[in-house]
Structures are given as C-alpha cells and as structure tokens.
Amino acid sequence: MMDRYYKERFHAQKRLIRKIAPLMAVNEIIETVRAELRTLIPTAMEVCILLLDPEAKQYTSSLQCALYERPVDCQSCKRDRPAVKKAIKNKKAVVVSQSEPVRRGDNSLVSVGPEYAMPVFVEGRVLAAVSVVIQPLTRYTRRDFFLIKDFADILGTIILNAKRQWEMTQEKISISRMLTNLSPFVPESVRHMVRKNPDLLTREKERRDISVLFLDLEGYTRLSISHPEVEVNGIIERMFSSFVDPIHRSHGDINETAGDALMIIFKNHDARTNAINSVKAAFEIAERNRTINQSFSKDMDSTMGPIDVNIGINSGSALVGMTRFTGSLDTRMTYTASGTVTNIASRLSDYAKGGDILIGENTQKMIQGLWPVYGLGPLVLKGLETPLQVFSLLRSPGN
C-alpha cells in the first residue's frame, strides 16, 4: 500500500514536470501547477497560489479565483483569510476544519469546506503560499497533504528560476532606458531571424488571426511645449521601457514606435488567446503607467501633470510578415500587420481619453466573461465611414 502511494506521488510529479517543461512564461507554469493539483484532489473547489514576493509583479501576474461569478485576483481573494495568514506567520502548513465562506462581489456567499494553506519557501524565505479549499462535509486525506507538499516544493523552484531570469534582464533594460531613441524596442528576434535567413525579406506575407494593441501618450504635446526636448525624451523612454516586460510576458511583439505611440502585435497563439494576452498586457501597462505618474509627481515639477496612456485593441485576420524599410542611412526590418484590424486598433487608441482601454467587437466577443466590459455604443471613428461597436474595459458610459 505504502509502495503504491509513493509511486503515485512520483508519477504525479513526473506528469507535472512533463507538462510544464515546454512552457516559458511563469504565469503559464504556475497555472498548470494549479490545474494539475486541482485535478489530483477530487474534492477541491479551488487551488490558489499567492505570490508574496514584493517584486513578483515584475516577472509574473496573479491568477484568477474560480469561486467568484467573475474572475477575481487571487491575491485579494485569499491573502486575508485566517488559514493563509496563520501559515505565513508561523511558516508552516495550517488546516482549518471550518473555513469561512467566500464573499462574492454581489455579497452572495459561497460555502466551502476545510481549508489548507502551505507556505512556499525560496532560499529560506516565504515567497508564496498554496491555498486549497475543498467541498463542505469532506475531509483531506493523508495523500492530499503529501501531494500539496510535493507541488509546493516544485513551485519554490519555479519562482526562484523566474526571479533570477527577471533579474538577469534588468541590466539590459537599464541600458535601453539610457538610449536616446526607441529603436531598441524593435524585437531583437526579428533581426536575428533575418540574419539567419535573409530570404525572409522576400517571402510573401501570410494571413493570420491576430490582436493588435496601439498605445499613445495623452499629454505628450503639452509636455513637449513646456519642457526641454532632452527631458521629454528621457520621460518617454522611461515610460516605454516600463512597458517592455508586460508586453513580452504576454507574448506581444513591439512592431512600430513613433514618438509617443507604440504598436504591439499578438500573433503567436490561437485567436482567443491572442485577444486575452493583449488585454492582459493592456491592464498591466495601465498599472505601470499609474505607478510612473506617481513617481513623476514626486520627482518633477508640478506643471507637468499626469501623462495618461490611451490604449486601443482590435482582433481579426490580417496579413502578417517581414517588411524592410530602406532609408539613406540604414535598413530597418520588422514584422508588420496590415489591414482593417490594425487601422481600427489605431483609431480606438486615438479615440480613448484619460487612460482608457477601448476594444473592438471581435476582441469583446473573445474575452467575454473574463473581465467587465462596458459598451459605448456604435461610434464613428476618425477616417472610418461605418459606425463600429466600441467597448471600454475601464469606464461605463457617462463616467
């Protein structure tokens, strides 16, 4: 019996490692760990992984809790629950036989059974916690406890590797921030592809389902008039540099840079995943922008005012491929996406105001149920004759 038990633990870990081996993004790895553990514990209502590392937002983002009617940040859902707080404080696993119900946003309650919380240690520090709630009137088995412990150990290694990888990129990003133009943000992978295979430049573009994100800075013109050019360039580079990690983490390629604007293409997955990744990137960019504006208010003079990032996202089919721009001094190579999808995304970012995130109808359909979406009605965007259904991810009409 005991021999079969250890075999089950071994095979569970082997299966998990096989699943996470091809994954690159730490978010995907942690989500896979959570899903596998939830499957292994039949009575589990939810498994949450809380990242407690103060720098965690730099290399990953929170998971979403399934106990709510809509996705809710796991950090806000579980951080203050007694079992989790006690496990973190005492640095050991805690079982609560009668756990508090989960309160949803509409004040309804979800009854849960016992709750188990286990700290995740990384180099002797508690940098995460695993929380498992099971169905009412059920109990944990000894098998459950050992499986959770095994997976918590694996999580510690994942978090440590992700943190080290993030730290290795900081020096490169710091160098980029010191440059006087934005060309370093054009994906290095594109230049590498052309160096290895020059005939890519003559290959025809292919039609693919993509999502396109445009962002531009509101207040750039005002800033350019009131402040020296060198200072303005430094501000813009600092802001755009902070957006690089969220974009790459969500599998986006920075395609075009033009003064105060960026174009990002999400083209590496199926249509729905591209749309979800673009929205994830948009939310994280908006959060980074709020943080930077707070630092500006301390470091800069009061006349500068906030610099909002307005974002437009659209999804659909477009021609995607390598394009070469030849000038008098050098040649620039990049991936481009041409067509109506790109044009509408650009117009949405132009229409957005006050740091809003606007999305087109195709994107709205693909993320339906994941985030609150506010319909703004059919709008006529600049340069387009036909009214389009436009949605905001941040503001309801009239706000």
Kindly give the pairing relationship between strand 64-65 and strand 72-73. Answer: antiparallel
Q: Quick: pLDDT tens for 160-204.
A: 887 777 766 654 444 344 333 434 444 554 555 555 555 555 566
Q: Quick: pLDDT tens for 178-190.
A: 333 434 444 554 5
pTM summary value:
0.52
For 317, the token pair is 């089919």
Q: Tell me the DSSP string of 216-278.
A: EEETHHHHHHHS-HHHHHHHHHHHHHHHHHHHHHTT-EEEEEETTEEEEEE-SS-HHHHHHHH
Q: What residue type is 30 in one-letter code? A: I
Cα 97 from Cα 56, distance rounded (Å) = 31
What band does 260 get if pLDDT is binned at 50, 70 and 90?
low
Q: Quick: pLDDT tens for 236-246.
A: 778 888 888 88
Nearest to 370 by CA among 103, 27, 72: 72
* Terminal C-alpha separation, the chain: 63
Lowest mean pLDDT among 41-50, 116-125, 153-162, 164-173: 164-173
Strand partners, 125: 122
Q: Quick: pLDDT tens for 218-231.
A: 876 677 777 777 77
Query: What 3-state DSSP class applies to 339?
Result: coil
For 109, the token pair is 């309650």
What band does 369 get if pLDDT is binned at 50, 70 and 90?
confident
Give the dihedral of Cα atoms 22, 28, 29, 35; nearest 10 deg: -110
Lowest mean pLDDT among 3-7, 21-25, 27-31: 3-7
Q: What is the pLDDT, as a whole number, of residue 158?
A: 83
Angle between helices 2-20 and 142-178 (to 10 degrees): 20
| Average pLDDT of the chain, as a whole number | 79
CATH 3.30.450.40 given to domain 2-174: yes
**Domain limits of the chain?**
2-174, 183-392
Q: Tell me the DSSP string of 149-191.
A: HHHHHHHHHHHHHHHHHHHHHHHHHHHHHHSSSSGGGS-HHHH
Contact between 207 and 298 under an 8 Å Cβ cutoff? The reply is: no
Q: What is the pLDDT, as a whole number, of residue 364?
A: 94
CATH 3.40.50.1000 given to domain 183-392: no
Contact between 251 and 276 under an 8 Å Cβ cutoff? The reply is: no
